[in-house]
Every structure is written in structure tokens, then in C-alpha cells.
């Protein structure tokens, strides 16, 4: 389990981890197996653990007044999943997180994250790089959501995240893109004809 994370860390810092660092990581990451359809977080609860996805597929979403689900984030292997706002501020989350496939996770608490950030440079490095990337990705998603049609948004999504496009069911992707599942179906049909 932990090897997946050690390997992942090498993407951010080429320097090999010391044994002490590995021990710290193993101490602070708790392996967890989340079964399909099981919740990792329920809206109203505080997000006390951030998940590193070793294997599987997850989503984070809200449910609005009309009972409609809106997918806010998707994640598969090597992605992180959690409600950052709730995690950092210890505030109740507005989001649900659940598994769309059986998942192998490594759970990290806030204290764990803080300790690793202090004592494991590679982790700190990872965090700051991810923060930057995340910020840019969100920004791009926002721009495209504001200025593009449904068809363009879907095309961009497939180009940008091909792994996600065939991993998640279509209605989930539609929700992620902020469009109706029927609309997405239509868009794909018209797209194929050209």
C-alpha cells in the first residue's frame, strides 16, 4: 500500500526518502478499504481525513434543494480526495464523498499532514506544487465553465482528462461539467456525426 505513495512522491522530489521519513509517512497514513457506494464523507460532518487514492474511483458532490446531485470533483489512482475547506477549518462540509468503485485509500489526518509538512521536505514540496496546480486547474475549469458551450466543455474535458472520461459513467461526467445527462448524450451524438 505505502509503496504506491512512496512512488508517487518521487514525482515531486527525486531525492530518495530516508528510513525515518518513510516511518513517519507510515505512521501518519492509515490504510482503508472503501467499498463501492460507501461514503467517505457525509455532508454536515467535518472532513477529518484526506484520502490518497491508491486504487479506485471517487467523487465529491453536493445535493441541492431539489435533490439534484452536483459533482464537484472526481478522483482516481494517485489523486487526493477530501473537502479542503472543511478539513482545514474543521467546519461542517457541504459535500458528500463516496466510492464509485472499490477503493484502496490512505487516510491522512490534519495533525498527520502538519507533522509531515514539517518533517518531510518531499511532502511539503508535493503540497505546494499540488496547491499551485490545483489553483490553475480550478481556474481553467472556471473559465471554461463561464465562457464555453456544453459541447466545448465536454471536448476540453476529454482532451484534458481522458482517463476520467472513460472511467466514470456518463451522467456523472455530465454533472461534473454542469450539464444535464440528456444534453451530454445529445452533444456526443452530434459530435460523432461530424
Partner DNA sequence: AAAGAGCGTAGACAAATGTCTACGAATGTT
Partner DNA sequence: AACATTCGTAGACATTTGTCTACGCTCTTT
Q: Kindly tell me which of 42 and 138 has the beta carbon lying closer to a second copy.
A: 138
Radius of gyration (C-alpha) of the chain in whole angstroms: 18
Residue 150 touches which member of DNA, a second copy, none, C-beta under 5-8 Å by kind: DNA
Please, what is the minimum distance in Å from the beta carbon of residue 1 to a second copy? 29
Please, what is the minimum distance in Å from the beta carbon of residue 67 to DNA? 10
Please, what is the minimum distance in Å from the beta carbon of residue 140 to a second copy? 9
Please, what is the minimum distance in Å from the beta carbon of residue 176 to DNA? 12
**Binding pattern to DNA, positions 163-182, x when CB under 7 A?**
------xxxx-----xxxxx
Residues that bind a second copy (CB under 8 A): 62, 64, 68, 70, 72, 84-85, 88, 131-132, 134-136, 138-139, 141-143, 145-147, 176-178
What is the rounded CA–CA span in Å between residue 155 and residue 159? 6
Residue 102 touches which member of DNA, a second copy, none, C-beta under 5-8 Å by kind: none
Beta strands in 38-173 (DSSP E): 39-41, 49-55, 58-63, 69-75, 80-81, 96-99, 103-109
Can you give the length of the chain in residues? 194
What residues contact 137, with CB distance under 8 A and at least 6 apart? Answer: none
What is the rounded CA–CA span in Å between residue 193 and residue 88? 47
Residue 30 binds DNA (CB under 7 A): no
Please, what is the minimum distance in Å from the beta carbon of residue 69 to DNA? 11
Name the burial class of residue 173, with classes exposed (0-12), middle (13-18) and buried (19+) by CB atoms within 10 angstroms of its CB: buried
Residue 85 touches which member of DNA, a second copy, none, C-beta under 5-8 Å by kind: a second copy
Closest C-alpha to 75, from 32, 123, 109, 40: 40
Site residues (vs DNA, CB under 7 A): 149-151, 169-172, 178-189
Amino acid at each position: 500500500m505505502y509503496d504506491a505513495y512512496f512512488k508517487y512522491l518521487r514525482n515531486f522530489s527525486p531525492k530518495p526518502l530516508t528510513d525515518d521519513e518513510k516511518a513517519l509517512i507510515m505512521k501518519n497514513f492509515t490504510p482503508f478499504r472503501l467499498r463501492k457506494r460507501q461514503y467517505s464523507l457525509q455532508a454536515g460532518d467535518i472532513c477529518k481525513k484526506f484520502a490518497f487514492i491508491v486504487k479506485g474511483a471517487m467523487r465529491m458532490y453536493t445535493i441541492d434543494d431539489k435533490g439534484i446531485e452536483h459533482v464537484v470533483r472526481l478522483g482516481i489512482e494517485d489523486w487526493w480526495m477530501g473537502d479542503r475547506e472543511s478539513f482545514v477549518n474543521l467546519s461542517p462540509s457541504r459535500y458528500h464523498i463516496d466510492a464509485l468503485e472499490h477503493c484502496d485509500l490512505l487516510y491522512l489526518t490534519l495533525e498527520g499532514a502538519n507533522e509531515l509538512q514539517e518533517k518531510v521536505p518531499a511532502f511539503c514540496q508535493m503540497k505546494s506544487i499540488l496547491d499551485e496546480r490545483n489553483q490553475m486547474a480550478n481556474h481553467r475549469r472556471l473559465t471554461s465553465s463561464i465562457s464555453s458551450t456544453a459541447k466545448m466543455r465536454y471536448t476540453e474535458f476529454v482532451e484534458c482528462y481522458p482517463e476520467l472520461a472513460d472511467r466514470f459513467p456518463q451522467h456523472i461526467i455530465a454533472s461534473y461539467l454542469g450539464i444535464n445527462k440528456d444534453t451530454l448524450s445529445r452533444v456526443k451524438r452530434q459530435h460523432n456525426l461530424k
